[in-house]
Amino acid sequence: MLTRIDHIGIACFDLDTTVEFYRATYGFEVFHTEVNEEQGVREAMLKINETSDGGASYLQLLEPTREDSAVGKWLAKNGEGVHHIAFGTADVDGDAEAVRGKGIRVLYDEPRRGSMDSRITFLHPKDCHGVLTELVTSAPRPAAEH
């Protein structure tokens, strides 16, 4: 069962400039950064708020590290902007299988590693009214972060 909006992914050409825009304009601070070699992106997660299920909601800013990455190709075609929406779930495997059973194309056979050691999969935008949709199960947080 989907429990929250985990994040909104925004593709950008220059991560540092885009982070500074969100910091200066809205006061959002970077919660986490990483490079995901498999997906070919450098990213920053800007925490917006905590949620009632113990998770959080974020803006995920994505800069491609190579032109042939999915985000790189998307930027070349569409320019900067909203790339995807991600919904949080306690069971990415089960929810992916449930939507697959409803005829929605799930892009990965098995969930992959996402930001902050989460487990993710994507749903085909043509099956989701033009919206690339991600399902996310957050990694367990250390007791100190609860």
Catalytic residue among 39, 60, 63, 83: 60
Q: Is 145 a catalytic residue?
A: no
Asked about 50 being catalytic, the answer comes back as no
133 vs 127: CA distance, rounded Å: 10
Which residue among the candidates 39, 63, 83, 134 is catalytic per the annotation? 134
39 is annotated as an active-site residue: no
Q: Please confirm, yes or no, whether 32 is among the known catalytic residues.
A: no
CB-facing half-sphere around the CA of 32: CA atoms within 13 A:
17
Write down the catalytic residue from 32, 37, 84, 129. Answer: 84
CA distance 21 to 27: 9
Residue with tokens 């992106």: 41
Please indicate whether residue 97 is annotated as part of the active site: no
Q: Closest Cα partner for 43 from 79, 70, 3, 24?
A: 70
Tell me which of 7, 39, 63, 83 is the catalytic residue: 7
Cβ partners under 8 Å of residue 37, min gap 6: 65
* Catalytic site residue from 39, 43, 63, 83: 43
Point out the residues that are catalytic.
7, 43, 60, 84, 134
